[in-house]
Structure 1
Amino acid sequence: MISTDNVSYLAGTRQIISQISFSVPEKHLLSIVGPNGAGKSTLLALLAGDLRPASGQVLLAGQPVHRMRPAALARQRAVMPQSTALAFGFTAAEIVRMGTEHDDPAVARQALDQVGAADLAERSFPSLSGGEQARVTLARVIAQHTPVLMLDEPTAHLDIKHQHIVLNLARSLADAGRTVIAVLHDLNLAARYSDTIAIMREGRLVTVGTPTETLVAERLSDVYDHPIGVYSHPAMSAPLCLDR
């Protein structure tokens, strides 16, 4: 559904992303992980077409992303940014309706319910907490009904309950046929919900593969410059990453 071919990106003369290649099929959830400054959000912006690569290309449904018109992009992919700045007092329901094709209140209500935010519908968006705003923003992305969802740190402001609500929903959407790409910091959430994990460091792709293939203690300790142990999870078939 979406792929990169030797994608690089420069900020001035500084190389932020260096020759990254991978592909993500339909019905798939890919998590991008790595330390701060690894280039995760920049890579997501390149995948979304919000940034243009210095070299290489991103293909979305076989089309170069940087050549697609905004309307065509909006029909193919929806993007959840790390934060949403809004000066006007739109309600949560109005924000979500902006993501629907025909300003559809029923679709907006359903999306809010999916992220556990139905009770926020009539609240002013600027009055919401960071976690509440994140859930409303995710609802807007879901309501866009695109085949590809790109989520930049969707669990960053959420408590443990809502982290799992959001990632269970992402998992369900992928299982139903969508392609989901999420930037995550929590390795255990990535291990539990992802089909594949891409590990980044200093703008480069270290590895990409299944959670078991990628989440290896020696590799993670090197990437994060901190001792990390990887163990068998006592309750599920997913690696368990712990500080050592």
Structure 2
Amino acid sequence: MIRIEDVSVTLGDSRVLDGVSARVPDGKFVGLVGPNGAGKTTLLRAMNGVLSPDSGRVLVDGDAIADLSSKAASRRVATVPQDTTLSFDFDVRDVVAMGRNPYRSRFGSGIDSSDRSADDGENSTSAAVVERAMERTDVMQFADRSITAVSGGERQRILLARALAQDTPVLLLDEPTASLDINHQVRTFELVRELVREGKTVVAAIHDLNLAAHYCDELLLLDSGSVLSSGPPTDVLVEDTLREAFDARAVVSSHPVTGSTYVTALPERATGRERDGKIHVVGGGGTVSRLLYVLSAAGYDVSVGVLNEGDSDLETARLLGLETVVEEPFAPIGSEAQAALEGKIRDADVTILSDVEIGSGNLANLEAVSAADSVVVVEERQFEARNYAGSAAVASYRELCERGHVVPPDDVLSAVEDAFAGES
């Protein structure tokens, strides 16, 4: 659907794009990722014809976008810009209806009889398309409100509705979730995936690498105006490439719930007590695989267990060369494994209890953590939803929460650092 052929752009004295070439397959969702200043927005502007390259060209469905008239280009490519500032004072419905402008012979202020040049069929079609666009982006409740009276996040969704009303085969998004809360971030990307399934081709500049990895079919990683890597997220989001592009340490693993590629940024290795400490991790069932990568990469001395043979967390620990406490497959924790576990917890400066399910077979894990000097409790689900060991487990868990750090999965590393800082 889109071919980018050796595109170079200079703005002022800066070479913003330098010989960029790429292909965007029909009906795919491609994410543009890269550090600030890499050229993502400039490339989008070249793709929609707003910016003419100094050299090279962009073809959309076989035609050079720069050679098309404004209306012809607007019938092929719709854009949701990063800057949502609108200086005019129109109702939201009229703003969304502006997406129908490429299909009219002249601009009208609404979607009905004010557009005298359009026949009744076009007016009826436009009205239906506009209504559907507002419904899909959850902005119908703002239809009669002034565009100047909505929040930045609401305005971003309204501009997405306007782009959907434009009804083009290609949709370009520049940081489409930058002003949205987490709920509408997910809803926006779910909508984009739905549009792609319906046949639309989407290219989006995305700041959040994990959202890009989860939702995009392919990624195009830009760095200093050039393509550093392209392909499926698993091929692009690799640790060496991320360090080169972002000058940052990162751990790349699979998300334990979604299975998609997951990037965790790490601080640079530090010397001193906070990086020389010992950590014991209690997990199981895939609840700590990503965490083991993160802690190991951060420079901690990590042990893990008790884990049953065959557990995916155990496989990760062995891959990383970590010390483990192991029990037979499907067997409850025996006395020998429990003694080894208690020894690991005594030796650890910090013990981490993951969001693991607790039953009679691994209740000894929970009870052993009670003897830890410093505890970080990872909670993603309510304990009641994963407790199969009765009231005794509830009492132990509550005691750990009262004296430990209770954090969501993404905050574990900072909680560990806080725990070490509190000891020093």
TM over 0.5, shorter chain? yes
Aligned to 2:210: 188
Q: State the SS of the aligned residue for 2:248.
A: coil
Show structure 2 runs of 5+ residues with no match: 105-110, 112-125, 267-424
Q: CA deviation at 1:228?
A: 1.3
Distance between the aligned counterparts of 1:201 and 1:26, measured in 2? 25
**Larger relative strand fraction:** 1
Q: CA deviation at 1:116?
A: 1.6
2:244 to 215, 219, 222: 222
Query: Any conservation in 2 of the 1:4–1:20 contact (CA below 8 Å)?
Result: yes
Query: Any conservation in 1 of the 2:218–2:230 contact (CA below 8 Å)?
Result: yes
Q: State the SS of the aligned residue for 2:99.
A: coil
Aligned to 2:21: 21
Q: State the SS of the aligned residue for 2:168.
A: coil
Q: CA deviation at 1:120?
A: 1.3
Query: Any conservation in 1 of the 2:16–2:39 contact (CA below 8 Å)?
Result: yes
Aligned to 2:196: 174
Pairs within 5 Å for 1:61-210: 61-100=61-100, 101=103, 103=111, 104-210=126-232
Q: Which moved more, 1:7-16 or 1:62-71?
A: 7-16
| Residue deviations 1:134-175 (CA, integer Å, cap 9, x gap) | 000000001110000001110000011101111111111111
Q: CA deviation at 1:239?
A: 0.4
Show structure 1 runs of 5+ residues with no match: none
Distance between the aligned counterparts of 1:12 and 1:222, measured in 2? 26
Distance between the aligned counterparts of 1:74 and 1:205, measured in 2? 27
| Residue deviations 1:63-110 (CA, integer Å, cap 9, x gap) | 111111111101111011112332222111110011124633332221
Q: State the SS of the aligned residue for 2:23.
A: strand
TM (normalized to structure 1)?
0.97
Query: Any conservation in 1 of the 2:84–2:152 contact (CA below 8 Å)?
Result: no
Give the superposed CA RMSD. 1.1
| Residue deviations 1:163-206 (CA, integer Å, cap 9, x gap) | 11111111111111111000000001100110000111111110
Distance between the aligned counterparts of 2:214 and 2:146, measured in 1? 34
The structure with the larger Rg is: 2
Distance between the aligned counterparts of 2:33 and 2:22, measured in 1? 14
1:235 to 223, 243, 257: 257
Q: Which moved more, 1:234-243 or 1:146-155?
A: 234-243
Query: Any conservation in 2 of the 1:9–1:54 contact (CA below 8 Å)?
Result: yes
Higher RCO structure (Cα 8 Å, ≥6 apart): 1
Aligned to 1:40: 40
Query: Any conservation in 2 of the 1:115–1:139 contact (CA below 8 Å)?
Result: yes
Q: Which moved more, 1:200-209 or 1:115-124?
A: 115-124
Q: CA deviation at 1:221?
A: 2.1
Query: Any conservation in 2 of the 1:171–1:193 contact (CA below 8 Å)?
Result: yes
Structure 1 counterpart of 2:60, one-letter code: L
Aligned to 1:31: 31
Question: Which runs of structure 1 show a deviation greater than 3 angstroms over 4 or more consecutive aligned residues?
Answer: none
Distance between the aligned counterparts of 1:126 and 1:229, measured in 2? 42
**Identity percentage over the alignment?**
40
Q: Which moved more, 1:229-238 or 1:140-149?
A: 229-238
Query: Any conservation in 2 of the 1:154–1:182 contact (CA below 8 Å)?
Result: yes
Distance between the aligned counterparts of 1:174 and 1:3, measured in 2? 18
Q: CA deviation at 1:125?
A: 0.6
Query: Any conservation in 2 of the 1:26–1:174 contact (CA below 8 Å)?
Result: no
Distance between the aligned counterparts of 1:122 and 1:83, measured in 2? 22
Q: CA deviation at 1:12?
A: 3.2
Distance between the aligned counterparts of 2:244 and 2:10, measured in 1? 25
Distance between the aligned counterparts of 2:87 and 2:180, measured in 1? 22
Query: Any conservation in 1 of the 2:30–2:204 contact (CA below 8 Å)?
Result: yes
Structure 2 counterpart of 1:6, one-letter code: D
Aligned to 1:5: 5
Q: CA deviation at 1:238?
A: 1.0
TM (normalized to structure 2)?
0.56
Aligned to 1:57: 57
